[in-house]
Amino acid sequence: MKIFLQFGLIVYQQEKIARTEVGYKGMEEKLERISIEQFKNIMKTLDTSMDDYLYIYDLKNDYYCISKNAVVRFLLPGTEFHNVNENLSKVILPQDMPAVIEDIQLIMEGKKEFHDIQYRWLDQEHRSIWINCRGRVTYDDQGQPEYLIGCINEVGKKQMADNVSGLLGESSLKRDLVGHDGRMDGFMLRLGIDRFKEINENRGMDYGDMVLRKTAECIASVILPEQKLYRIVADEFAVVDFSGRGQEEAVRLYESIRQKINAFIVENEYEVFYTVSAGIMEFKSVVNHTYYNLMKLSEFSLNEAKERGKNKYYLYTREDYHAFTRRKELIRLMRNAINNNFAGFNAHFQPVMDIKQNKLIGAETLMRFYCEEKGNVAPYEFVPLLEESGLMIPVGRWILYRALEACKEIQKVIPGFRVSVNVSYVQVLRSNILEDILEGIKKYELAPSSLLVELTESGFLEENANFIRFCDGLKESGIPLALDDFGTGYSNFHYLSHLTPHTIKIDRSFTLKALKSDYEFGLLQHMADMTHSIDSKFCIEGIETEDELNKICQMGPDYIQGYYFGRPCPYENFMADYVGVA
C-alpha cells in the first residue's frame, strides 16, 4: 500500500507540484526507492481503472514502458521498448518531434525536473491526436536523473455523456465495448439522422438540438432494458445489445424507432420532416472486436444505408466491406501511379473498320491499368473509381495525349487515320477538357478531324451548361463527336437535334439483341436509317464472328468494331499487326 500511494503521489499530483517552485529532489529523498518492475506492476493495476495512459521512461537504459490501452489506441511498437527516440518518432508527428527531444534533453542534463508538453501522436487510423504528456523526474543515489514517470491524456477527449440528448457519449460506448471484448454476442445498431445539416441551416441550432433530444427520446422509448443507447457523433446514435439477439431483432428495433419518429413528426404537425438510416452489425460477423474496428465497421454500415437511398437499414457483411476496402485501395494505388508518371496505366487501341471500303480508318483508345498488388484491373472496376475520385481528370488528359501522339505516328503510314477517345462526364463538368484537347491537337500538329471525341450518352442525364459549352466548342473547332452506347441511356434521341454527332455507336449488348431477335434487328435498322438521314455515321460495336458480321452488314453500317477485326492491344502491337510497322 505504501508503494501504491507513492506512485499515486507521483502520477496524480504532477500538475499541482509543477506549478510551484519547490524542487523534487528533497521530496525524492523522502520516498522509499522502488524498482522499475514494481512500477510496472502498479501501472498494470491502475491501467484498468483509469482512462489516461501511465508511462515510465528509464532515462539511463533508454527504456520505455506504457499502459496497454495506449498501444491499442496509438501506433506504438508495444508496451515496452528500447531505443526510445527512434520508436517514438514513429508515433509522434515529425514536426512535433524536435520540441519533445529538446525537452527530454534538458531533463537528462538536469536542467528540468518536470515534463509538461502538448504534441501530437498518430492513432491506429493514422490520424493525429493531440496529447498532453506530463511527468516528473526521479533521481538515483548520485543525484542523476533516473526515471521520468507520469501520464498521458488526450487533450480533445470526448465527454462520457452528452448534455444535449441526455445520453451517454462515445467515451462511455468505448468503455462498454472494451469491457465486453472477447465475449460479444449480440448487435450494434448505428443510427444517423438523414440531412440533419439542413435542419440546422433552415431552423437554427436550437431547433436542431430539440430534434436530437426528441430522436433520443423516441429511441429510448422502444429499446429493451438490457439494451444501451449512446449519442456518438453529431446526429448519430448507437444501440448496443450484448444479450445474443441477432439481426432480425435489430431490424425490428429499427422499424420501431422509425414508427416512433414518424409519430413525433405528426404530433409536431409536420413542422419538420426527417428520416433516419441505420447500419446493423452483428458481433458474430466481425472477427476483430477491438473498439476502433467495431466503430469503423459500424460507420461503414451506416454510410452504406445512406448511400443506398437513406431512410433504410443496411446489414453488415464482410464481403461488402472487403469490396469497399478494395475500392479504397485501388484509388490509393491509382493515385500513387499518377504521381509516379502514370506508371501502370496504358493506352490500348482497337481497330475501327470502314466496312464499305473494307479498310482500317481509325482506332478507339481504351484505358488499361496494372499494378503489382492487384494485377490487371478490369476497366469496369477502375474507370468508375477514377470518376468517383476525380482522378479521371489527370488520367483522361494523359490518355488523350497518348492517343494523339499515336495518331501522329500512324498518319505517317495511313493518311487520314483517326483516333477516338472517350471523355468522361467528370472531365466535362469539373475540368477544362476542351482546352486540353485543343492544346493536344496543336502540340502534335494534327487536323481537328483526326480526333473523334466519344461521349457515353448515359453519363449525361441532363443538359448541363458545361456540357453544352463543351459540345459547342467541339463543333466550332471542327472536332467530330460520337455518341457511345447509344440507346442505353435515358435521353436517347433527345440529344441528336442539338449535338448533330458525327458518329452514333451501338454497343455489343444492343448488337446481340439484334442478332437474336427480328424485332430488335428491325429497331436497330430504323436507328441506322435515322442516323443516315441526319448525315451521321453508324458504327456497330461487338462483332466477333463472320456470321455476326454478315447479318449486321445487311443494315448498311458505316463502321464496324469488334474482336472479329481485332482486340484492343498496346501501341507497339497495333503498329505491328494493323499498320505494318514493327
Domains in the chain, start-ordered, CATH in brackets?
2-154 (3.30.450.20), 161-316 (3.30.70.270), 346-579 (3.20.20.450)
Characterise 445 by phi-psi region: left (phi > 0), alpha (psi -120 to 50), beta (else): left
- pTM over 0.75, yes/no: no
How does pLDDT run across 21-47, given as a tens digit for each residue? 344 444 444 444 567 777 777 777 777
Query: Cβ distance 544 to 514 under 8 Å?
Result: no
In the DSSP assignment, the letter for residue 74 is B
SS3 223: coil
Which residue is it, cell 504532477? Answer: 14
Sorted by sequence, the CB contacts under 8 Å of residue 38 that are 6+ apart come out as: 3
Q: Calculate mean pLDDT across residues 395-424.
A: 97
The answer, yes or no, to whether residue 117 has pLDDT greater than 80, is yes
Q: Calculate mean pLDDT across residues 529-543.
A: 92
Encode 287-307: b = buried (16+ Cβ within 10 Å), e = exposed: eeeebeebbebbbbbbbbbbe
Number of H helices, E strands in the chain: 23, 23
Tell me the C-alpha distance between 436 and 40, whole Å: 64
Tell me the C-alpha distance between 181 and 293, whole Å: 12
CA–chain centroid gap for 187, Å, is 25
For position 451, what pLDDT does the model report?
97
Long-range contacts formed by 356-359: CB under 8 A, 24+ apart: 356/558
Tell me the C-alpha distance between 7 and 9, whole Å: 5
How does pLDDT run across 209-229, given as a tens digit for each residue? 999 999 999 999 999 989 999
Q: Which of 429, 427, 430, 415 is nearest to 453 (CA)?
A: 427
How does pLDDT run across 246-262, given as a tens digit for each residue? 999 999 999 999 999 99
Q: pLDDT averaged over the chain? A: 87
Q: Which one is predicted more confidently, 487 or 563?
A: 563
Q: What are phi and psi of 394, to 5 degrees?
A: -70, -40
Tell me the C-alpha distance between 521 and 511, whole Å: 8
The answer, yes or no, to whether residue 1 has pLDDT greater than 60, is no
Tell me the C-alpha distance between 528 and 553, whole Å: 11
Angle at 71 between CA 136 and CA 320, to 5 degrees: 155
Q: Which three cell numbers stand for residue 562?
A: 469488334
For position 171, what pLDDT does the model report?
84
The alpha carbon torsion through 73, 76, 82, 83 (nearest 10 deg) reads: -140
| Element housing 114 (H / E) | strand 114-122
For position 493, what pLDDT does the model report?
59
Tell me the C-alpha distance between 286 and 288, whole Å: 6
> In sequence order, what DSSP letters do the residues of 143-187 get, joined into one string?
S-EEEEEEEEEETTPPPSEETTTTEE-HHHHHHHHHHTTT---SE
For position 541, what pLDDT does the model report?
93
| Element housing 475 (H / E) | helix 465-477
- Any idea which of 165-179, 375-389, 483-497, 504-518 has the lowest mean pLDDT? 483-497
For position 509, what pLDDT does the model report?
87
- Any idea which of 125-129, 132-136, 578-582 has the lowest mean pLDDT? 578-582
Tell me the C-alpha distance between 15 and 23, whole Å: 13
Q: Which one is predicted more confidently, 162 or 338?
A: 338
For position 269, what pLDDT does the model report?
86
Amino acid at site 467: F
For position 237, what pLDDT does the model report?
96
Sorted by sequence, the CB contacts under 8 Å of residue 456 that are 6+ apart come out as: 422, 424, 425, 484, 485, 489
How does pLDDT run across 321-330, given as a tens digit for each residue? 999 999 999 9
The answer, yes or no, to whether residue 578 has pLDDT greater than 70, is yes
Q: Which of 276, 264, 191, 199 is nearest to 230 (CA)?
A: 191
Q: Calculate mean pLDDT across residues 527-534.
A: 90
Other beta carbons within 10 angstroms of residue 132's beta carbon come to 15
Q: Which of 174, 163, 176, 261 is nearest to 227 (CA)?
A: 176
Tell me the C-alpha distance between 487 and 493, whole Å: 8
Q: Which of 112, 146, 113, 150 is nearest to 131 (CA)?
A: 150
